[in-house]
A and B are shown apart, each in its own frame.
Chain A
Amino acid sequence: MLTQLTHGIATMTRRRALAATAGLVLGLAASSSLAPAQAADDTIKVGILHSLSGTMAISETTLKDTILFLIDEQNKKGGVLGKKLEPVVVDPASNWPLFAEKARELITKDKVAVVFGCWTSVSRKSVLPVFKELNNILFYPVQYEGEESERNVFYTGAAPNQQAIPAVDYLMKEEKVKRWVLAGTDYVYPRTTNKILEAYLKSKGVAQDDIMINYTPFGHSDWQTIVADIKKFGSAGKKTAVVSTINGDANVPFYKELGNQGIKATDIPVVAFSVGEEELAGIDTKPLLGHLAAWNYFESIKTPANEKFIKEWQAYTKNPKRVTNDPMEAHYIGFNMWVKAVEKVKSTDPDKVIDALPGIEAPNLTGGVSQMLPNHHITKPVFIGEIKGNGQFDVVWKTPGLVAGDAWSKELEGSKDLIGDWVGKKCGNFNTKTNKCGGQGS
């Protein structure tokens, strides 16, 4: 019955004729095969796979708006290959299996040329088999734990070497930090990042005793004990810093507790990898003055491109206070790269676009030009920003040039010999030691 809703009344008569035999099944088939829009010829469809409801809506809604904004801007310029871009928005509702279902729907039913989407690693992992099976393109805009290079995915967020390691370097050099607290939410990104950092710190001569690792559940709200522990750990006579991979929601109570227990950035600085302008919008940042974040983009960076982007974004959203953040810039870069690749091969055929993408360059918003690498990651500058009283960041340090994203961490035993190379080797996990594709080998 409900299938009728999905397709036009036009199909009704045909369906009714066949309903006598195996109506339900065939009806289902008819409904689905006729549903794809006939408009497919004069527009290019772009899938947007970001949660609009549920727990992840807090972060992902903005990214949906970003892509809509970018498509709008592109269409003003005449679209791509002379066709308008048509966004297809779905809501995977922060539900991981639903991500896979929606991805399948976007590719099979809506026949999109490319998908921009996902935030959490698990959502990306969930849709990965779908993109591989149906051979389509996913642009993933969020910093993540690395250890992945897939033919169908382009990672425009930071790999650990584009965020975590430069941040630690900064603290070591500029703040002379000798003792480290690695605090994170208990899931894959913090676990992996902390593993990488631990190995990196040890390689720099930091003793095991000088590293404290702590994990908390998602949405942890009672930070009293942990903040007290950090305070205690920090009073051992050596300069101490906290490297925080605490996930979005838990940050506000964490920072509130830090502020209230009187831990100032001058005593124990906290450098966070998941706290950006959007997250700070929910906190009174005065007590957090001087705590740090490492990103590849800050709204406060003054370049003409960034100022133009912010102005147009705020005009598009009709909200003069709307902030911008790093994953938005990642989508900005990714979207422009895709457009360039499509224009280069004059086709939206995923195979052609995938092959064309490595090597494509697109300006980022911080004054540089990012390039898509053969491992499907991009080059990005790394900035360290200090939290200011107005919820923005003040860039205190940046890498001299752009840093190339490593798909595989050099610090981890399992992946140090691996590289991703979809141009020469056509392989995401090429082992440079055995010269073979397929991981460590046995």
Chain B
Amino acid sequence: MNVMDTRATSAMLYLDGVHVSFDGFHAINNLSLALEPGEMRAIIGPNGAGKTTMMDIITGKTKPDEGTVLFDGTVDLTRLDETRIAELGIGRKFQKPTVFESQTVQDNLLLALNVDHSVRGTLFWRGSKAESERIDKVLETIRLTDARNRLAGSLSHGQKQWLEIGMLLAQDPKVLLVDEPVAGMTDVETHLTAELLKEINRNHTIMVVEHDMTFVRELGVKVTCLHEGSVLAEGSIDQVSSNERVVEVYLGR
């Protein structure tokens, strides 16, 4: 392992030969993947392909049994915990929208802001103009300005998805991991979400996991198809969807 001395790769996120098993079940099997800076990548795959587990590995929730996971070419993510990884600049949106339901939309964003996260810092936090301006801006981006004082729990499903994306924006990470952002959304909302992601992609690296092929097509980015914990196919959406093995996997053998 020549990880620490030089940049091993130019990739923003680099996974190589990763294995994870739970009680004998191989959730991730020799997975290798690289995400270049500024890239947006869509990950598809049937249920149980290991998509969420892969995100768990990147964000430090699950430790791989073996393999390399590098961030920014230098940082070994397998040794860090979730908090540290989040501090490095990897943000994550969960499959099930996870917002702080008993707090207001505004507070949700406030919590996500990339400022002092120490106990001391939050206890004596007094807020600043810059912070409220940023919150205003994010609210505008995710179209929730009118709902800023509503409790997050009272939002609609789609609004919660957006709020969570908004929290990612407030967090301002280098890499965004987005797990099924359009699940349960109407077509219009799906479209808007795609637009939103493309906009975010202008200055962020993004990895999107999604089932919705229309959405993936609309994103128009490179697609990786996972199956049984490893990469089955990679390329444009058309290339991947015409791949025989992908078709086989999706339609059953």
Indicate whether A and B are direct neighbours in the complex (CB within 8 Å).
no
Which residues of B pack against A, CB within 8 Å? Answer: none
- Which A residues have a C-beta under 8 Å from some C-beta of B? none
